[in-house]
A and B are shown apart, each in its own frame.
Chain A
Amino acid sequence: MRILVVDDSEAFRKVMTELLVRAGFHEVSEAGDFDEALKVYKGNHPTIVFVDMVLPGRSGVELTKEILKTDPNAKVIAMSSIINKSMIKQSLDAGAKDFLLKPTNEIALSSVLSMWSD
């Protein structure tokens, strides 16, 4: 299963990738902003995309909409370092399947992956 992690923090992407690899997901790609994410998405069509809602330039909500326009079956998981109810609602309304609070951990990540990986 291919996974894409979109976050402007390289440090976060690295540790997230490490957790995913430890969980048995070896095909993980990364992107730091909207344009790079869309390019990577179109290139390898990952099964799950973790998207930070706050990205430089165009937001995670816009990215979610764009990915779903490209592939209506895409599974986008929104991420943010605070629980902002209106931002989460916007993400879910845009088509995100779930939400993950940053920093995340093996337990929360495994739960999301088992729920949305089939």
Chain B
Amino acid sequence: MSLFLFKKRREKKSIRESGLGISRKYSLPPGKSYVIEETPPSISFDAFSNLISTADERGNKTVGMAVTRQHPDLVREKYGLEKTPIYWLATRAGEGVISPTNLGILTHTMIKFVEDNENGVILLDGLEYLVSNNDFNKVLRVIDQVNDHISQSGTRLILPVDPRVFEPRELALLERNMEKISALATAD
């Protein structure tokens, strides 16, 4: 039995990215969720890739998981991600694809990541797409559920939001248990 467990542990694929040798530019303490109102989600992706490619002041590295509307190959290419799991929010079937209507799988995938990793970051990009495929309150429940797990963990959640898509009341509900990050950005 113990030999089996040892073998299983040894076979677990590392999802840690190699360091880039650059500085950490975002201070996002774990145990919190961060909402960033922006279009396109450039600050969110920069923060996510910077966190997982650098070490904190104690030398601890962070592992990440992304759920995105963008094709994972494009995300990997732009942000130099080799090992980080990236799930594609899409209606097509396939490995690494999560259907926007399957909120159960989405919730389970994020909560499992929180439970399996001590110092992690989740990027959830595509909230607008989720809301267009589901009732807003159902999506809010997913966010709240994940947020509850995040708050008792060493992981953080980054949630880019296009403020043009939501009503003020919906934005307020989304942001009530999250820290809001605002910053001006340059064009590409």
Kindly identify which residue among A11, A88, A99, A105 contacts B184, using a CB–CB cutoff of 8 Å. Answer: A105
Query: Is A101 a contact partner of B46 (Cβ separation < 8 A)?
Result: yes
Q: Which of A58-83 contact B (CB under 8 A)?
A: 81-83
Query: Is A108 a contact partner of B187 (Cβ separation < 8 A)?
Result: no
Give the segment of A14-22, A25-33, A34-42 that binds chain B: A14-22
- Residues of chain B with a CB closer than 8 A to A22's CB: 184
| Closest Cβ–Cβ distance, residue A7 to chain B (whole Å) | 10
Query: Is A89 a contact partner of B21 (Cβ separation < 8 A)?
Result: yes
Give the segment of B74-82, B99-107, B132-140 that binds chain A: B74-82
Q: Contacts A103-B42, A104-B186, A105-B183; is A83 near B23 (CB within 8 Å)?
A: no
B1 interfacial by beta-carbon distance below 8 Å: no
| Closest Cβ–Cβ distance, residue A1 to chain B (whole Å) | 18
User: In the bound complex, what is the Cα–Cα distance between A105 and B185 (angstroms)?
Assistant: 4
| Closest Cβ–Cβ distance, residue B140 to chain A (whole Å) | 27
Query: Is A98 a contact partner of B185 (Cβ separation < 8 A)?
Result: no
Q: Contacts A82-B78, A85-B80; is A108 near B50 (CB within 8 Å)?
A: yes
User: In the bound complex, what is the Cα–Cα distance between A112 and B23 (angstroms)?
Assistant: 8
Query: Is B22 a contact partner of A98 (Cβ separation < 8 A)?
Result: yes
Indicate with 1 or 0, residue by residue over B13-27, a CB within 8 angstroms of chain A CB atoms.
Answer: 000001011111110
- Residues of chain A with a CB closer than 8 A to B80's CB: 82-85, 88
Kindly identify which residue among B18, B24, B184, B187 contacts A106, using a CB–CB cutoff of 8 Å. Answer: B184
**A interface list, Cβ under 8 A from B:** 11-12, 15-16, 19, 22, 81-85, 88-89, 92, 98-108, 111-112, 115
**B interface list, Cβ under 8 A from A:** 18, 20-26, 42-43, 46-47, 49-50, 53, 77-80, 181, 183-188
Nearest 4 Cβ contacts at the A-B interface: A83-B80, A105-B185, A111-B25, A106-B183
